[in-house]
Amino acid sequence: MVFIGKIVNAVKQGSKRGLKRTFIDSLRLHVRGGTGGNGLPKYGGIGGKGGDVFLVAEKDTKLKRVLSKLPTKRIAAGSGGHSETKKLLGEPGNDIVIEVPVGVSVFDEYGRVIGDLNEDQAKILVAKGGPGGSPLTQFSGLRGEAGTIILDLKLIADVGLVGFPNAGKSSLLKAISRARPKVASYPFTTIEPNVGVLEFSDLRQITMADLPGLIEGAHANVGLGHKFLKHAERTKLILMVVDVNGFQLNYRHPKRSALETVVLLNKEMELYQEDLLKKPIMLAVNKMDVPGAEYKWKELEASLKDFDNAVANFPEELRPLQAIKFQDIMSLSVQSCQKSVLNLKEKIRCVLDSEADKATEEEELKFRNRLKLKMVESGPKLS
Protein backbone atom coordinates (compact mmCIF):
# COMPACT_ATOMS: atom_id res chain seq x y z
CA MET A 1 0.00 0.00 0.00
CA VAL A 2 1.29 3.40 -0.94
CA PHE A 3 0.78 6.75 0.72
CA ILE A 4 1.85 8.84 -2.22
CA GLY A 5 4.33 11.51 -1.22
CA LYS A 6 4.74 12.50 2.41
CA ILE A 7 1.27 12.68 3.93
CA VAL A 8 1.91 14.47 7.18
CA ASN A 9 -0.41 14.30 10.11
CA ALA A 10 -1.39 17.90 9.50
CA VAL A 11 -3.15 16.80 6.32
CA LYS A 12 -5.01 13.98 7.96
CA GLN A 13 -6.22 16.14 10.81
CA GLY A 14 -5.46 19.76 10.13
CA SER A 15 -6.87 19.80 6.63
CA LYS A 16 -10.20 18.68 8.04
CA ARG A 17 -10.16 21.28 10.78
CA GLY A 18 -12.68 23.99 10.21
CA LEU A 19 -14.58 22.12 7.49
CA LYS A 20 -18.16 22.17 8.62
CA ARG A 21 -19.80 19.13 7.11
CA THR A 22 -23.48 19.66 6.57
CA PHE A 23 -23.77 16.79 4.09
CA ILE A 24 -24.61 13.35 5.49
CA ASP A 25 -24.05 10.28 3.33
CA SER A 26 -24.17 7.58 6.01
CA LEU A 27 -26.66 7.05 8.82
CA ARG A 28 -27.08 4.28 11.39
CA LEU A 29 -30.59 3.48 12.66
CA HIS A 30 -32.09 0.97 15.06
CA VAL A 31 -35.33 -0.48 13.74
CA ARG A 32 -37.87 -2.71 15.43
CA GLY A 33 -40.98 -4.39 14.07
CA GLY A 34 -44.09 -4.24 16.23
CA THR A 35 -44.97 -7.01 18.69
CA GLY A 36 -47.91 -9.19 17.72
CA GLY A 37 -51.09 -8.92 19.78
CA ASN A 38 -52.15 -11.73 22.12
CA GLY A 39 -54.76 -14.24 21.03
CA LEU A 40 -57.81 -15.33 23.00
CA PRO A 41 -57.51 -19.05 23.82
CA LYS A 42 -61.10 -19.42 25.06
CA TYR A 43 -62.57 -18.50 21.70
CA GLY A 44 -59.61 -19.24 19.41
CA GLY A 45 -59.07 -15.55 18.76
CA ILE A 46 -55.96 -14.47 16.81
CA GLY A 47 -53.89 -11.47 17.83
CA GLY A 48 -53.07 -8.78 15.30
CA LYS A 49 -49.73 -8.86 13.51
CA GLY A 50 -47.13 -6.31 14.58
CA GLY A 51 -46.39 -3.46 12.19
CA ASP A 52 -43.47 -3.53 9.75
CA VAL A 53 -40.74 -0.95 9.15
CA PHE A 54 -40.13 0.01 5.53
CA LEU A 55 -37.73 2.31 3.70
CA VAL A 56 -38.97 4.05 0.57
CA ALA A 57 -36.86 6.07 -1.86
CA GLU A 58 -37.94 9.69 -2.29
CA LYS A 59 -36.11 11.82 -4.84
CA ASP A 60 -36.58 15.10 -2.96
CA THR A 61 -35.26 14.05 0.44
CA LYS A 62 -31.80 13.88 2.07
CA LEU A 63 -30.30 11.86 4.89
CA LYS A 64 -29.96 15.08 6.86
CA ARG A 65 -33.74 15.40 6.74
CA VAL A 66 -34.13 11.78 7.84
CA LEU A 67 -31.93 12.50 10.86
CA SER A 68 -33.89 15.65 11.74
CA LYS A 69 -37.12 13.62 11.77
CA LEU A 70 -35.55 10.78 13.75
CA PRO A 71 -33.16 12.44 16.21
CA THR A 72 -33.03 9.36 18.48
CA LYS A 73 -32.25 7.14 15.48
CA ARG A 74 -34.65 4.55 16.90
CA ILE A 75 -37.78 3.47 15.06
CA ALA A 76 -40.44 1.06 16.30
CA ALA A 77 -43.56 0.01 14.45
CA GLY A 78 -46.91 -0.33 16.21
CA SER A 79 -47.93 -3.40 18.19
CA GLY A 80 -50.76 -5.60 17.00
CA GLY A 81 -54.09 -5.44 18.79
CA HIS A 82 -55.16 -8.17 21.21
CA SER A 83 -57.98 -10.51 20.36
CA GLU A 84 -61.21 -9.68 22.21
CA THR A 85 -64.56 -11.38 22.66
CA LYS A 86 -66.26 -8.81 20.44
CA LYS A 87 -63.36 -8.76 17.96
CA LEU A 88 -61.60 -12.09 17.73
CA LEU A 89 -59.16 -10.97 15.06
CA GLY A 90 -56.87 -8.35 16.53
CA GLU A 91 -56.05 -5.19 14.60
CA PRO A 92 -52.67 -5.20 12.84
CA GLY A 93 -50.08 -2.77 14.18
CA ASN A 94 -49.27 0.42 12.29
CA ASP A 95 -46.43 0.20 9.77
CA ILE A 96 -43.65 2.78 9.76
CA VAL A 97 -42.45 4.08 6.39
CA ILE A 98 -39.19 6.08 6.37
CA GLU A 99 -38.45 8.23 3.34
CA VAL A 100 -34.78 8.10 2.29
CA PRO A 101 -32.89 9.55 -0.70
CA VAL A 102 -32.67 7.73 -4.00
CA GLY A 103 -29.27 6.01 -4.19
CA VAL A 104 -29.22 4.54 -0.68
CA SER A 105 -27.78 1.08 -0.06
CA VAL A 106 -28.99 -0.59 3.13
CA PHE A 107 -26.73 -2.84 5.18
CA ASP A 108 -27.26 -4.77 8.42
CA GLU A 109 -24.89 -4.37 11.36
CA TYR A 110 -22.65 -7.12 9.94
CA GLY A 111 -22.18 -5.36 6.63
CA ARG A 112 -24.51 -7.61 4.66
CA VAL A 113 -26.57 -5.94 1.95
CA ILE A 114 -30.28 -5.78 2.69
CA GLY A 115 -31.17 -3.91 -0.50
CA ASP A 116 -30.59 -0.94 -2.79
CA LEU A 117 -33.00 1.93 -3.39
CA ASN A 118 -31.90 3.25 -6.76
CA GLU A 119 -35.26 4.34 -8.15
CA ASP A 120 -37.85 6.80 -6.91
CA GLN A 121 -40.53 5.07 -4.77
CA ALA A 122 -38.53 1.83 -4.51
CA LYS A 123 -39.38 0.15 -1.22
CA ILE A 124 -37.76 -2.47 1.03
CA LEU A 125 -38.70 -4.11 4.30
CA VAL A 126 -36.09 -3.67 7.05
CA ALA A 127 -37.92 -4.98 10.14
CA LYS A 128 -40.84 -7.39 10.03
CA GLY A 129 -43.54 -7.25 12.66
CA GLY A 130 -44.14 -10.24 14.94
CA PRO A 131 -47.04 -12.62 14.33
CA GLY A 132 -50.14 -12.33 16.46
CA GLY A 133 -50.95 -14.88 19.11
CA SER A 134 -52.41 -18.14 17.73
CA PRO A 135 -52.52 -21.84 18.60
CA LEU A 136 -49.00 -22.15 17.14
CA THR A 137 -47.65 -19.62 19.67
CA GLN A 138 -49.91 -20.64 22.55
CA PHE A 139 -51.85 -17.44 21.79
CA SER A 140 -48.95 -15.20 22.81
CA GLY A 141 -47.97 -12.44 20.41
CA LEU A 142 -44.33 -12.61 19.31
CA ARG A 143 -41.81 -9.80 19.11
CA GLY A 144 -40.96 -8.28 15.78
CA GLU A 145 -37.55 -8.26 14.14
CA ALA A 146 -35.07 -5.78 15.56
CA GLY A 147 -31.59 -4.69 14.62
CA THR A 148 -29.29 -1.95 13.43
CA ILE A 149 -29.23 -0.87 9.80
CA ILE A 150 -26.79 1.42 8.00
CA LEU A 151 -27.98 3.71 5.23
CA ASP A 152 -25.13 4.43 2.83
CA LEU A 153 -25.83 7.05 0.19
CA LYS A 154 -24.04 7.06 -3.15
CA LEU A 155 -25.14 9.82 -5.46
CA ILE A 156 -26.59 8.78 -8.79
CA ALA A 157 -25.48 11.12 -11.57
CA ASP A 158 -24.56 10.74 -15.23
CA VAL A 159 -21.20 12.47 -14.81
CA GLY A 160 -18.90 12.67 -11.79
CA LEU A 161 -16.20 15.36 -11.54
CA VAL A 162 -12.98 14.04 -10.02
CA GLY A 163 -9.80 16.00 -9.33
CA PHE A 164 -7.52 17.55 -6.76
CA PRO A 165 -8.72 20.68 -4.90
CA ASN A 166 -8.82 23.99 -6.73
CA ALA A 167 -8.71 22.45 -10.20
CA GLY A 168 -11.85 24.37 -11.13
CA LYS A 169 -14.48 21.63 -10.74
CA SER A 170 -16.97 23.86 -8.93
CA SER A 171 -16.42 26.68 -11.43
CA LEU A 172 -16.99 24.21 -14.27
CA LEU A 173 -20.22 22.91 -12.73
CA LYS A 174 -21.43 26.49 -12.29
CA ALA A 175 -20.55 27.43 -15.88
CA ILE A 176 -22.00 24.31 -17.51
CA SER A 177 -25.20 23.91 -15.46
CA ARG A 178 -27.63 25.74 -13.23
CA ALA A 179 -25.88 24.63 -10.03
CA ARG A 180 -24.43 27.29 -7.74
CA PRO A 181 -21.62 25.65 -5.77
CA LYS A 182 -19.23 27.65 -3.59
CA VAL A 183 -16.26 28.86 -5.63
CA ALA A 184 -13.01 30.34 -4.26
CA SER A 185 -9.26 30.29 -4.94
CA TYR A 186 -8.29 27.98 -2.10
CA PRO A 187 -8.48 24.20 -1.61
CA PHE A 188 -11.52 22.43 -0.15
CA THR A 189 -14.16 24.99 -1.15
CA THR A 190 -16.30 21.94 -1.93
CA ILE A 191 -16.87 19.92 1.24
CA GLU A 192 -20.07 18.27 0.10
CA PRO A 193 -21.16 17.00 -3.33
CA ASN A 194 -23.09 19.37 -5.58
CA VAL A 195 -25.29 18.18 -8.43
CA GLY A 196 -26.09 20.27 -11.50
CA VAL A 197 -28.17 19.64 -14.60
CA LEU A 198 -26.79 20.13 -18.12
CA GLU A 199 -29.65 21.22 -20.37
CA PHE A 200 -29.78 20.99 -24.16
CA SER A 201 -32.00 22.65 -26.76
CA ASP A 202 -33.81 19.36 -27.49
CA LEU A 203 -34.74 19.13 -23.76
CA ARG A 204 -32.15 16.44 -23.07
CA GLN A 205 -30.83 16.65 -19.52
CA ILE A 206 -27.59 15.25 -18.08
CA THR A 207 -26.80 15.32 -14.37
CA MET A 208 -23.29 16.17 -13.17
CA ALA A 209 -21.93 15.76 -9.62
CA ASP A 210 -19.03 17.85 -8.32
CA LEU A 211 -17.25 15.70 -5.74
CA PRO A 212 -14.99 17.27 -3.09
CA GLY A 213 -11.34 17.47 -4.12
CA LEU A 214 -9.13 14.48 -3.47
CA ILE A 215 -5.61 14.65 -2.09
CA GLU A 216 -2.78 12.16 -2.26
CA GLY A 217 -3.74 9.20 -0.09
CA ALA A 218 -7.49 9.66 -0.63
CA HIS A 219 -7.90 5.92 -1.23
CA ALA A 220 -6.82 5.39 2.39
CA ASN A 221 -9.30 8.04 3.58
CA VAL A 222 -6.74 10.83 3.93
CA GLY A 223 -8.35 14.27 3.65
CA LEU A 224 -12.01 13.79 2.76
CA GLY A 225 -10.95 10.43 1.31
CA HIS A 226 -13.27 7.71 0.19
CA LYS A 227 -16.18 9.37 2.04
CA PHE A 228 -16.76 11.16 -1.26
CA LEU A 229 -14.75 9.12 -3.78
CA LYS A 230 -17.41 6.43 -3.38
CA HIS A 231 -19.94 8.72 -5.10
CA ALA A 232 -18.09 8.15 -8.39
CA GLU A 233 -19.15 4.50 -8.31
CA ARG A 234 -22.65 5.12 -9.65
CA THR A 235 -21.80 7.66 -12.32
CA LYS A 236 -21.91 6.64 -15.97
CA LEU A 237 -18.94 8.85 -16.90
CA ILE A 238 -16.02 10.24 -14.92
CA LEU A 239 -14.72 13.65 -15.91
CA MET A 240 -11.24 14.19 -14.51
CA VAL A 241 -10.41 17.88 -14.12
CA VAL A 242 -6.81 19.05 -13.66
CA ASP A 243 -5.09 22.42 -13.49
CA VAL A 244 -2.65 22.90 -16.40
CA ASN A 245 -0.26 24.42 -13.82
CA GLY A 246 -0.35 21.34 -11.59
CA PHE A 247 -1.23 21.27 -7.90
CA GLN A 248 0.32 21.77 -4.48
CA LEU A 249 -1.79 21.27 -1.36
CA ASN A 250 0.49 23.40 0.82
CA TYR A 251 4.16 24.20 1.37
CA ARG A 252 4.73 20.88 3.14
CA HIS A 253 3.84 18.97 -0.01
CA PRO A 254 5.69 18.70 -3.31
CA LYS A 255 4.44 20.68 -6.27
CA ARG A 256 2.92 18.30 -8.80
CA SER A 257 2.91 19.02 -12.53
CA ALA A 258 -0.27 18.50 -14.56
CA LEU A 259 1.03 15.13 -15.78
CA GLU A 260 1.87 14.04 -12.25
CA THR A 261 -1.60 15.13 -11.19
CA VAL A 262 -3.22 12.93 -13.84
CA VAL A 263 -1.04 9.95 -12.88
CA LEU A 264 -1.75 10.42 -9.17
CA LEU A 265 -5.51 10.64 -9.76
CA ASN A 266 -5.22 7.47 -11.84
CA LYS A 267 -3.42 5.83 -8.91
CA GLU A 268 -5.89 7.01 -6.28
CA MET A 269 -8.89 5.76 -8.25
CA GLU A 270 -7.19 2.41 -8.86
CA LEU A 271 -6.30 1.94 -5.20
CA TYR A 272 -9.81 2.84 -4.10
CA GLN A 273 -11.57 0.59 -6.59
CA GLU A 274 -10.15 -0.82 -9.82
CA ASP A 275 -13.61 -0.99 -11.39
CA LEU A 276 -13.68 2.82 -11.56
CA LEU A 277 -11.07 2.60 -14.33
CA LYS A 278 -13.47 0.47 -16.39
CA LYS A 279 -15.88 3.38 -16.65
CA PRO A 280 -15.59 5.82 -19.55
CA ILE A 281 -13.27 8.63 -18.42
CA MET A 282 -12.68 12.03 -20.00
CA LEU A 283 -9.93 14.49 -19.13
CA ALA A 284 -10.42 18.27 -19.01
CA VAL A 285 -7.30 20.40 -18.55
CA ASN A 286 -8.42 23.71 -17.08
CA LYS A 287 -7.06 27.25 -16.59
CA MET A 288 -5.72 27.71 -20.10
CA ASP A 289 -6.06 31.48 -19.67
CA VAL A 290 -3.01 31.83 -17.37
CA PRO A 291 0.39 32.90 -18.77
CA GLY A 292 2.48 30.01 -20.06
CA ALA A 293 -0.50 27.64 -20.16
CA GLU A 294 -0.24 26.93 -23.90
CA TYR A 295 3.34 25.66 -23.59
CA LYS A 296 2.45 23.45 -20.61
CA TRP A 297 -0.60 22.10 -22.45
CA LYS A 298 1.42 21.09 -25.51
CA GLU A 299 3.94 19.35 -23.28
CA LEU A 300 1.16 17.55 -21.41
CA GLU A 301 -0.71 16.67 -24.60
CA ALA A 302 2.40 14.99 -26.01
CA SER A 303 2.70 12.80 -22.90
CA LEU A 304 -1.00 11.94 -22.90
CA LYS A 305 -0.82 10.68 -26.49
CA ASP A 306 1.36 7.84 -25.17
CA PHE A 307 0.03 7.74 -21.62
CA ASP A 308 1.04 4.11 -21.06
CA ASN A 309 4.67 4.96 -21.71
CA ALA A 310 4.44 8.15 -19.64
CA VAL A 311 3.07 6.18 -16.69
CA ALA A 312 5.81 3.54 -17.06
CA ASN A 313 8.45 6.20 -16.49
CA PHE A 314 7.09 7.12 -13.05
CA PRO A 315 8.60 5.70 -9.82
CA GLU A 316 6.91 2.53 -8.63
CA GLU A 317 5.32 4.20 -5.59
CA LEU A 318 3.53 6.69 -7.87
CA ARG A 319 2.81 4.41 -10.82
CA PRO A 320 -0.65 2.87 -11.25
CA LEU A 321 -0.83 -0.72 -12.44
CA GLN A 322 -3.32 0.23 -15.15
CA ALA A 323 -3.17 3.45 -17.12
CA ILE A 324 -6.48 5.12 -17.90
CA LYS A 325 -7.73 4.93 -21.49
CA PHE A 326 -9.31 8.35 -21.89
CA GLN A 327 -12.39 8.65 -24.08
CA ASP A 328 -11.49 12.25 -24.84
CA ILE A 329 -8.93 14.83 -23.76
CA MET A 330 -9.41 18.55 -24.13
CA SER A 331 -8.18 21.87 -22.78
CA LEU A 332 -10.43 24.70 -21.66
CA SER A 333 -10.71 27.85 -19.64
CA VAL A 334 -13.82 27.84 -17.49
CA GLN A 335 -13.34 31.45 -16.43
CA SER A 336 -12.67 33.14 -19.77
CA CYS A 337 -13.78 30.91 -22.64
CA GLN A 338 -17.44 29.90 -22.62
CA LYS A 339 -16.99 28.32 -26.06
CA SER A 340 -14.62 25.71 -24.60
CA VAL A 341 -17.17 24.94 -21.87
CA LEU A 342 -19.95 24.47 -24.43
CA ASN A 343 -17.63 22.27 -26.49
CA LEU A 344 -17.01 20.10 -23.43
CA LYS A 345 -20.74 19.92 -22.79
CA GLU A 346 -21.36 18.53 -26.29
CA LYS A 347 -18.50 16.05 -25.98
CA ILE A 348 -19.91 14.77 -22.70
CA ARG A 349 -23.21 14.12 -24.43
CA CYS A 350 -21.50 12.35 -27.33
CA VAL A 351 -19.58 10.02 -25.01
CA LEU A 352 -22.67 9.20 -22.96
CA ASP A 353 -24.73 8.54 -26.11
CA SER A 354 -21.95 6.35 -27.52
CA GLU A 355 -21.78 4.32 -24.30
CA ALA A 356 -25.57 3.95 -24.30
CA ASP A 357 -25.45 2.67 -27.90
CA LYS A 358 -22.77 0.15 -26.95
CA ALA A 359 -24.86 -1.07 -24.03
CA THR A 360 -27.88 -1.46 -26.32
CA GLU A 361 -25.84 -3.41 -28.87
CA GLU A 362 -24.51 -5.69 -26.14
CA GLU A 363 -28.04 -6.36 -24.87
CA GLU A 364 -29.25 -7.11 -28.40
CA LEU A 365 -26.33 -9.50 -28.93
CA LYS A 366 -27.07 -11.28 -25.66
CA PHE A 367 -30.73 -11.56 -26.61
CA ARG A 368 -29.85 -12.95 -30.05
CA ASN A 369 -27.47 -15.50 -28.50
CA ARG A 370 -30.14 -16.62 -26.03
CA LEU A 371 -32.62 -16.93 -28.89
CA LYS A 372 -30.15 -18.98 -30.92
CA LEU A 373 -29.58 -21.29 -27.96
CA LYS A 374 -33.30 -21.85 -27.52
CA MET A 375 -33.77 -22.54 -31.23
CA VAL A 376 -30.90 -25.05 -31.20
CA GLU A 377 -32.36 -26.81 -28.18
CA SER A 378 -35.80 -27.00 -29.82
CA GLY A 379 -34.57 -28.28 -33.18
CA PRO A 380 -34.32 -25.73 -36.05
CA LYS A 381 -31.20 -23.60 -36.30
CA LEU A 382 -31.22 -19.83 -36.69
CA SER A 383 -28.94 -18.80 -39.54
CA distance 39 to 132: 7
Is 264 exposed, middle or buried, given 0-12, 13-18 or 19+ CB atoms closer than 10 A? buried
pLDDT in tens, the chain (383 residues): 333 333 334 334 444 444 444 568 889 999 999 999 999 999 999 999 999 999 999 988 989 899 999 999 999 999 999 999 999 999 999 999 999 999 899 999 999 999 999 999 999 999 999 999 999 999 999 999 999 999 998 877 899 999 888 888 889 998 998 766 544 444 444 446 778 889 999 989 999 988 765 655 544 444 444 566 777 888 899 999 999 999 887 777 788 999 999 999 999 888 888 888 999 999 999 999 999 999 999 999 999 999 999 999 999 988 999 999 999 999 999 999 999 999 999 999 999 999 989 888 888 888 888 888 887 777 655 55
Q: Which residues pair with 40 in a beta bridge?
A: 45
> What's the confidence (pLDDT) of residue 135?
96
Q: Is the four-CA dihedral 239, 244, 249, 255 of positive or negative sign?
A: positive
- Please state which of the four CATH numbers 1.10.540.10, 2.70.210.12, 3.40.50.2300, 3.80.30.20 is assigned to the domain occupying 24-153: 2.70.210.12
Please report which helix (H) or strand (E) contains residue 229, including its range: helix 226-229
| Rg of the chain, C-alpha, whole Å | 27
C-alpha span between 279 and 111 (Å, rounded): 26
- The C-alpha atoms of residue 198 and residue 181 are separated, in whole angstroms, by 14
Phi then psi dihedrals of residue 170, to 5 deg:
-65, -40
CA distances from 13 to 127, 147, 225 (A): 38, 33, 12
What's the pLDDT score for residue 224?
Answer: 46
Q: How far apart are CA 276 and CA 241, in angstroms?
A: 16
| pTM summary value | 0.71
Contact of 144 with 132, CB cutoff 8 Å: no
Q: State phi, psi for 343 to the nearest 5 degrees.
A: -65, -45
Please choose, from the candidates 180, 277, 284, the residue with its C-alpha nearest in 3D space to the C-alpha of residue 229: 277
User: For position 5, what pLDDT does the model report?
Assistant: 38
> In this predicted structure, what is the pLDDT of residue 83?
97
CATH fold of 159-359, please? Rossmann fold (3.40.50)
Structural domain spans, the chain = 24-153, 159-359
Q: Give, as one character, the DSSP assignment of residue 296.
A: H
